[in-house]
Amino acid sequence: MDDLVNKRINEVLKGNQDAFEEIVTLFQHRLYHICYRMLNNAQEAEDIAQEAFVRAYINIHTFDQKRKFSTWLFRIATNLCIDRIRKKKPDYYLDANVPGTEGLTMYSQIAADDELPEDKVEQMETQERIHYEIGKLPDKYRSVIILRYIEELPLQEIGDILELPLGTVKTRVHRGRAALRKQLSNL
């Protein structure tokens, strides 16, 4: 796959914008899924995942073709997600008063910081519950847990994506698991 991707990248570098479309098509679902789990919101995930592709396009000349394209692309996306999460926090209460939620599913309406009463959480369906519990994880654990157990990436690759030393990734995976275990046992 990397050969095909590099071939398309070289076409993009020569000015053929259409060649980028194939790259987007190849990676769209994985990238969207990561953003969706990181941000816990469908609309924001679409916006940030698209933005990540745009940034990848603009900076494509800086990509080292000896490396894995997905790692580079996922790094752009996770950085954008983390920025978005940080920016979002102070406006959280303002956001809560804005009713403009047409077209959002029930999943996307559960804000990451919302603490629900226990009986409500117990009634949730599995997918809704997973969505909720991931959203409750502190973001530094959330990113490693998503990449490790949803994307099934090796620790070294997670380190490359998040630009963290292997030891830190291990600690975070470890603590993230413990944090999730604690959340689950509260019920």
Partner 1 sequence: MNTCPEQIVHNMHAYLDGDISPDDELQLNKHLAECVECRMLMEELSIPITFIRKAESVQAPIGFVDGVMARLPKEKPQAGVQR
In the complex, the smallest distance separating the C-beta of residue 36 from partner 1, rounded to whole angstroms, is: 5
CA angle, residues 56, 60, 65, in degrees to nearest 5? 115
**Which of 91, 76, 63, 2 minimizes the C-alpha distance to 35?**
76
**Which of 29, 63, 66, 68 minimizes the C-alpha distance to 45?**
29
Let me know: does 50 contact 24? Beta carbons within 8 Å. Answer: no
Would you tell me which residues interact with partner 1 (CB under 8 A)? 12-15, 17, 20-21, 24-25, 28-29, 31-33, 36-37, 42, 46, 49-51, 53-54, 57-62, 126-127, 130-131, 133-134, 145, 148-150, 152, 154-155, 170, 173-174, 177, 180-181, 184
| Closer residue to partner 1, CB minimum distance, 58 or 94 | 58
In the complex, the smallest distance separating the C-beta of residue 100 from partner 1, rounded to whole angstroms, is: 18
Residue 17 backbone class (left: φ over 0; alpha: ψ -120 to 50; beta: rest):
alpha
| Closer residue to partner 1, CB minimum distance, 15 or 90 | 15
| Closer residue to partner 1, CB minimum distance, 94 or 102 | 102
In the complex, the smallest distance separating the C-beta of residue 15 from partner 1, rounded to whole angstroms, is: 4
**Whole-Å CA distances, 49 to 34, 42, 62, 77, 171:** 9, 10, 19, 6, 27
| Closer residue to partner 1, CB minimum distance, 1 or 166 | 166
